[in-house]
Amino acid sequence: MAYRGDFLIGTFLRFLPVLTTVLLWTAVYVGKTDGDTIAGFDLHQMIAYLLLIHISRMFSSMPGLAGGIARDIRDGSLKKYLVQPLDMIGYLLAYRVAHKTAYIVTSALPYALLFFLAREHFGSWGGWQAMPAYALSLLFAFLIGFFFEAMIGLAGFWLLEVTSIIWIITTLNYFISGQMFPLDVLREHYPVVHAILGWLPFKYIAYFPAMVFLGKISGPQLLRELLIETAWVVMLILLTRWLYSAGLRRYSAFGG
């Protein structure tokens, strides 16, 4: 029961940041009248967005992936993939699919309860016609999250320690992927930054799926964004494969 209890408690504790974020944005909207918006979001839409971010993160977050790859390279454990032979990238991808499947199934009930209690904030959304695109965006978010983290870990072929790099990128990613607030907030005061982030893959990790669900991205714009996201997925897969091949050419491991 120890592992099961730890998993259950950890799942519920993950909702605490949701509560603090909701309280923060509720305070931001204090003094505004009904209908007032920030970057096109009223209070209900902002809370709905912040709740949906956690669904996006459920698919795109890859805790321990980059650090695990770098550690295998550093201590020589990588050779277990080479002598079997077993493709490391393919194995880790299959492992993450299994892990995500188990996590989503076990945490479905707490999330269903959370969204039921917060149903008043979902008065406006994209409708059922947006759900296929939403599901596709979550799948792509998983792939982008996986291959981006794998690329960071593969830097271990050239760097002895990547922990600091992982921490910096993770912290930066929290901001530029729209997990802290919708990227639309930057449009008015930082249009150049907003435009740059619009072409990078990070927004597809969290911001884009939530916007699709809320119906704020639809029609031709939705098709265009999905095509760009597909291009990023293909590019990250190819870059990951190239880095792995290049790293193996300079890799050496000794001992049993």
Which residue pairs, CB below 8 angstroms and at least 24 apart, start in 246-254? 246/157, 247/73, 247/154, 247/156, 247/157, 247/158, 248/82, 248/157, 250/157, 250/158, 251/73, 251/78, 251/157, 253/76, 253/78, 253/79, 254/76
Please report, as a single letter, which amino acid is at residue 95: Y
User: pLDDT tens per residue, the chain (256 residues)?
Assistant: 787 777 777 767 777 777 788 888 888 888 777 667 888 888 889 999 999 998 999 999 998 999 999 999 988 889 888 888 889 999 999 999 999 998 888 888 888 888 888 888 888 888 889 999 999 999 999 999 999 999 999 999 998 888 888 999 988 998 999 988 899 999 888 999 999 999 999 999 999 999 999 999 989 999 999 999 999 999 999 999 999 999 999 888 765 5
Quick one: pLDDT at residue 255? 55
Using CA atoms, how far residue 60 sits from 20, 55, 117, 144, in Å, is 22, 9, 24, 7
Please report the DSSP string for the chain in residue order. Answer: -HHHHHHHHHHHHTTHHHHHHHHHHHHHTTTPPTT--BTTB-HHHHHHHHHHHHHHHHHH--TTHHHHHHHHHHHSTTHHHHHTT--HHHHHHHHHHHHHHHHHHHHHHHHHHHHHHTGGGGSS---GGGHHHHHHHHHHHHHHHHHHHHHHHHGGGT-S--HHHHHHHHHHHHHHTTSSS-GGGGTTT-HHHHHHHHHSGGGGTTHHHHHHHTTSS-HHHHHHHHHHHHHHHHHHHHHHHHHHHHHHHT------
Q: Is the pTM of this model over 0.85?
A: yes
